[in-house]
């Protein structure tokens, strides 16, 4: 006779203990994975500016292929103001020294919401949001008005809309302060990356005033951030260019916004970096509708780089007929620039890129000397501008260099500001353009006079006949 044994059931209290242990280990595993993800080193950062929400945006495919861990908006995240058609004559003239009405006017709050919603609904951008941490600041067109500063009366409302676009938590300090500036720190000890995004609109004094860009409160906050705990790399995002001051060489034809147009503020920024002994600082910027990498050696004791990415959609060459784009590139090459990094990694001879682009920073923490790759990439994700920087280069060389940040060493190549160029070099673009216009005008007058003389001769001959 065979007897079978049936396992006795586990008492209820033992079952509960087993389930609790399984739940505990499952929770611990998830928590450990989350912590590991949070402190894993940052190796890929993308950034950009000038994304017109009403135009096609194929650039997101290239950005997603780069697979950044962090994406940084640098302004003009939407084009929220309204640009009126050009009017040279008539009651409402908005172009030229004779203009009597503005070319740009603000949108309503509802219209701003619709434009943000359209930008956020883009499938490529939505995919980026799912896979990367998206942060950023604003510039004039998403601030609400072209070239506007602290005088703009809708900035409080538009700040809320911009932070909604970035999914900023409702209890975020950014929603309680005047301006959208913020800072973030990523990575484990000895591999930390700090990202500081500035607000160059909310407190900015009028252009040509040489007043303040950041305002007193933001300056105090920035000093506190730069004196805070050490990070190996500090990325400072500015909506307008920090290093380059092309307005000094494109004027009086046209001017662009930049820190160079507020020389006291830029000098204060460099001095603050030097005084706080903050090493590893890299600037990123936007606004100008072309890509460029610039460098300044004589400010903080080590080279300061500024990687300008503009625009994700809006670009200089986009508004020019294709046959004339080579002329735009020629003018870029001809315009004096003392800060631009010129190397073999440039697609065009001018080492600027006037088509759709995004900025990319790649960090190799495992190299013998940590290497930072700074790039501008095109709509296909290909590098069009690039340079490699060793982290050891971004360290102040001793106390003397910090005490006198303006000292120009013999080995320091990028030390002459654009405003220090001789007049014959500094204004050569304006001279070329005005000379060309004069020649064309004379040629046109000659053709008109020639035509009139020919017609007169024909009429006289007809009368004689």
Contacts of 44 by beta carbon, 8 Å cutoff, 6+ apart: 66, 67, 68, 69, 70, 360, 361, 362, 363
How many whole angstroms separate alpha carbon 276 and alpha carbon 224? Answer: 9
Instruction: State whether 170 and 41 are in the same domain.
Output: yes
When the pLDDT of each residue in the chain is averaged and rounded to a whole number, the result is: 90
Q: Which of 55, 46, 193, 192 has the alpha carbon at shortest distance from 128?
A: 46
Domain that holds residue 327: 35-424
Enter the pTM of the model. Answer: 0.88
| 15 belongs to a structural domain | no
Residues 199 and 275 reside in one and the same domain: yes
Same domain, 40 and 167: yes
- Asked whether residue 349 falls in the same domain as residue 455, the answer is no
- Does position 23 have pLDDT exceeding 80, yes or no? no
Q: 4-13, 179-188, 190-199, 365-374: which range is least confident on average?
A: 4-13
- Confidence class for position 37, pLDDT limits 50, 70, 90: very low
For residue 36, pLDDT beyond 70: no
Q: Are 258 and 300 within one domain?
A: yes
pLDDT for the residue 398: 54
pLDDT at 401 over 50: no
Q: What is the pLDDT of residues 199-235, one digit of tens each?
A: 999 999 999 899 999 999 999 999 999 999 999 999 9
pLDDT at 90: 79
Domain count, the chain: 2
Strands 304-308 and 281-285: parallel
Percentages (nearest 5) of helix, strand, coil residues in the chain: 40, 15, 45
Question: Is 213 a domain residue?
Answer: yes
Could you give the 3-state DSSP secondary structure of residue 373?
strand
Residue 20, pLDDT score: 57
Asked if 313 contacts 351 with a C-beta cutoff of 8 angstroms, the reply is no
Residues 354, 439 within the same domain: no
Q: Mark whether 308 and 436 lie in a shared domain.
A: no
Ramachandran angles phi, psi of 392, nearest 5°: -65, -25
Edge-to-edge strand list for the sheet holding 371-378: 133-137, 70-74, 44-48, 357-364, 371-378, 383-390
Instruction: Compute the distance between CA of residue 254 and CA of residue 246 in angstroms, rounded to an integer.
Output: 10
pLDDT tens-digit map of 62-116: 999 999 999 999 999 999 999 988 888 878 887 777 778 888 999 999 999 999 9
User: Do 253 and 168 have their domain in common?
Assistant: yes
What backbone phi and psi angles, to 5 degrees, belong to 373?
Answer: -100, 120
- The neighbouring-strand residues paired with 362 are 44, 373
Mean pLDDT to the nearest integer, 326-354: 95
């Amino acid at each position: 006779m065979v007897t079978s044994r049936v396992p006795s059931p586990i008492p209820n209290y033992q079952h509960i203990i087993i389930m609790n242990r399984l739940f505990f280990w499952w929770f611990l595993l998830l928590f450990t994975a989350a912590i590991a993800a949070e402190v894993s080193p940052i190796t890929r950062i993308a950034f950009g500016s000038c994304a017109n929400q009403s135009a096609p945006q194929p650039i997101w495919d290239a950005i997603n292929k780069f697979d950044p861990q962090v994406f940084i908006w640098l302004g003009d995240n939407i084009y929220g103001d309204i640009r009126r058609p050009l009017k040279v004559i008539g009651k409402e003239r908005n172009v030229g020294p004779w203009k009597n009405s503005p070319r740009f006017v603000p949108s309503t709050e509802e219209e701003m919401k619709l434009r943000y919603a359209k930008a956020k609904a883009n499938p490529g951008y939505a995919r980026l949001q799912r896979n990367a941490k998206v942060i950023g600041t604003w510039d004039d067109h998403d601030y609400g008005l072209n070239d506007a500063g602290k005088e703009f009366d809708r900035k409080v409302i538009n700040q809320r809309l911009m932070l909604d676009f970035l999914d900023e938590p409702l209890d975020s300090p950014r929603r309680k302060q005047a301006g959208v500036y913020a800072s973030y720190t990523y990575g484990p000890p000895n591999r930390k990356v700090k990202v500081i995004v500035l607000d160059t609109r909310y407190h900015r004094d009028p252009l040509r005033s040489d007043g303040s860009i950041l305002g007193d409160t933001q300056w105090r906050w920035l000093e506190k951030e730069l004196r805070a705990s050490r990070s190996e790399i500090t990325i400072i995002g500015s909506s307008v260019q920090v290093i380059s001051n092309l307005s000094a060489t494109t004027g009086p034809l046209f001017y662009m916004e930049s820190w160079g147009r507020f020389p006291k503020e830029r000098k204060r920024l460099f001095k603050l970096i030097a005084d706080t002994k903050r090493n590893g600082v890299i600037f990123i910027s936007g606004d100008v509708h072309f890509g460029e990498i610039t460098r300044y050696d004589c400010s903080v004791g080590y080279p300061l780089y500024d990687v300008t990415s503009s625009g994700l959609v809006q670009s200089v060459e986009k508004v020019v007929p294709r046959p004339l784009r080579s002329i735009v590139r020629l003018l870029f090459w001809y315009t004096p620039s003392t800060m631009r990094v010129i190397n073999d990694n440039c697609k065009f001879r001018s080492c600027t890129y006037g088509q759709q682009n995004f900025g990319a920073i790649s960090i190799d923490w495992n190299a013998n000397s940590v290497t930072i790759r700074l790039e501008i990439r095109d709509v296909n994700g290909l590098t069009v501008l690039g340079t490699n920087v060793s982290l050891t280069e971004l360290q102040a060389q001793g106390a003397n260099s910090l005490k006198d940040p303006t000292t120009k060493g013999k080995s320091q190549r990028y030390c002459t500001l654009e405003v220090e160029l001789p007049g014959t070099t500094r204004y050569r673009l304006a001279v070329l353009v005005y000379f060309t216009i004069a020649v064309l005008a004379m040629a046109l007058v000659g053709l008109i006079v020639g035509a009139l003389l020919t017609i007169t001769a024909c009429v006289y001959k007809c009368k004689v006949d």
